[in-house]
């Protein structure tokens, strides 16, 4: 069946036909180059904020007073995501996360033809951000702070990492799909809600898994540090959590599927 986009006015999709979820009302209009550039730039901003805050906290670098603490990471991540969504959502949908892109694609709500370009752009943006963090903070950022790469806390098994990453990514993607596809939610409010969801996710999973919540954010710094502790968990768990979140919203919570 041919995919059709959801009407930005009504939020409804034609009965009996699959629909593409264009987050924040964006339309690709065959301009994939512009969309993937926005994805790379947005992911770069997001991961740069997170890794820089994590490295500064690990190295105890002061700003104007005491050094950053643990809460700097969720604050930086949440604000960066809100900024990226508000500024780039109308261009690419501001997925900025393979778990969102693949979660939509698996549920037939985003074209598979565009998926590889989005995912490659997200990993490129994340890896570049880790490299810039390395350049800004010096070799200690890599040797001591590991460029903010995610890793299980002491004594945490791979199974617990899987559970934590799947749960918090489920929360984030559910908020993204709910806030970014309903025309009744203003784009500015959607950006705040999505940023806040990421901040909450990092607070929850940070002490357990380091809070990847995004395969690109987790694996990008790993590539440059050469340390891949439980990398497969940071890839598989968010993808599973994201796909389940999209399926739940699409089948049970979307306006045209909810019983009156």
Q: How far apart are the first and last CA of the chain?
A: 28
User: Residue 111 sits in a domain of what CATH number?
Assistant: 1.20.1080.10
For range 101-126, the mean pLDDT: 96
pLDDT value of position 15: 39
pLDDT value of position 5: 47
pLDDT value of position 18: 52
pLDDT tens-digit profile of 73-110? 999 999 999 999 999 999 999 999 999 999 999 999 99
User: Are residues 229 and 235 in contact, defined by beta-carbon separation less than 8 angstroms?
Assistant: no
pLDDT value of position 19: 65
Q: Which of 8-17, 100-109, 141-150, 232-241 has the lowest mean pLDDT?
A: 8-17
Centre a 10 Å sphere on the Cβ of residue 188 and count the other Cβ atoms it contains: 12
Of all residues in the chain, the percent with pLDDT exceeding 70 is 90
Q: Extract long-range pairs of 80-84: CB within 8 Å, 24+ residues apart.
A: 80/45, 80/46, 80/48, 80/49, 80/50, 80/195, 81/46, 81/191, 81/194, 81/195, 81/198, 82/191, 82/192, 82/194, 82/195, 82/196, 83/45, 83/191, 83/195, 84/42, 84/43, 84/45, 84/46
Q: Is residue 6 part of a domain?
A: no
Residue 65 belongs to domain spanning: 30-253
Beta bridge partners of 19: 4
**Could you give the maximum distance between any two Cα atoms of the chain, in Å?**
60
Q: Is residue 14 part of a domain?
A: no
Q: Is residue 21 part of a domain?
A: no
Q: Is residue 131 part of a domain?
A: yes
State the total domains in the chain: 1
pLDDT tens-digit profile of 193-204? 999 999 999 999
Q: Which tokens in the block code for residue 245? A: 């979140």
pLDDT value of position 259: 53
Residues whose CB falls within 8 Å of the CB of residue 19, separated by 6 or more in sequence, listed in order: 3, 4, 5, 6, 13, 109
> Is 0.75 topped by the overall pTM?
yes
How far is 209 from 257, CA to CA, in rounded Å? 35
pLDDT > 70? residue 188? yes
What confidence tier does 3 reach under pLDDT thresholds 50, 70, 90? Answer: very low
- Alpha-carbon Rg for the chain, nearest whole angstrom, is 18
pLDDT value of position 61: 83
User: Are residues 153 and 210 in contact, defined by beta-carbon separation less than 8 angstroms?
Assistant: yes
What confidence tier does 63 reach under pLDDT thresholds 50, 70, 90? Answer: confident
Residue 224 region, left (φ>0) first, then alpha (ψ -120 to 50), else beta? alpha
What confidence tier does 2 reach under pLDDT thresholds 50, 70, 90? Answer: very low
Q: Is residue 149 part of a domain?
A: yes
pLDDT value of position 185: 79
pLDDT > 80? residue 258? no
Mean of all residue pLDDT scores within the chain: 89
Distances (CA, A) of 63 to 48, 57, 72, 75, 124: 17, 10, 12, 15, 29
């Amino acid at each position: 069946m041919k995919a059709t986009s959801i009407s930005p006015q009504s939020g409804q999709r034609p009965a009996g036909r699959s629909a593409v979820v264009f987050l924040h009302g964006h339309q690709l209009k065959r301009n994939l180059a512009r969309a993937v550039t926005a994805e790379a730039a947005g992911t770069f901003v997001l991961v740069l904020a997170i890794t820089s805050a994590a490295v500064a906290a690990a190295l105890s670098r002061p700003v104007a007073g005491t050094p950053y603490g643990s809460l700097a990471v969720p604050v930086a991540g949440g604000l960066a995501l809100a900024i990226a969504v508000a500024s780039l959502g109308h261009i690419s949908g501001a997925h900025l996360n393979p778990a969102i892109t693949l979660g939509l694609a698996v549920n037939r709500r985003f074209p598979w033809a565009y998926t590889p370009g989005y995912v490659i752009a997200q990993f490129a943006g994340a890896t570049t951000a880790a490299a810039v963090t390395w350049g800004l903070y010096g070799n200690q950022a890599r040797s001591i702070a590991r460029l903010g790469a995610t890793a299980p806390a002491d004594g945490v098994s791979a199974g617990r990492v899987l559970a934590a990453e799947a749960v918090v990514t489920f929360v984030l993607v559910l908020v993204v799909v709910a806030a970014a596809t309903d025309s009744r939610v203003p784009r500015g409010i959607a950006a705040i809600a999505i940023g806040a969801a990421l901040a909450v996710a990092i607070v929850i999973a940070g002490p357990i898994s380091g809070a990847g919540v995004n395969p690109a954010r987790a694996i990008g710094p790993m590539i440059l540090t050469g340390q891949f502790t439980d990398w497969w968990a940071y890839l598989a768990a968010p993808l599973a959590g994201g796909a389940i979140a999209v399926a739940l919203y699409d089948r049970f919570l979307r306006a045209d599927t909810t019983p009156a």
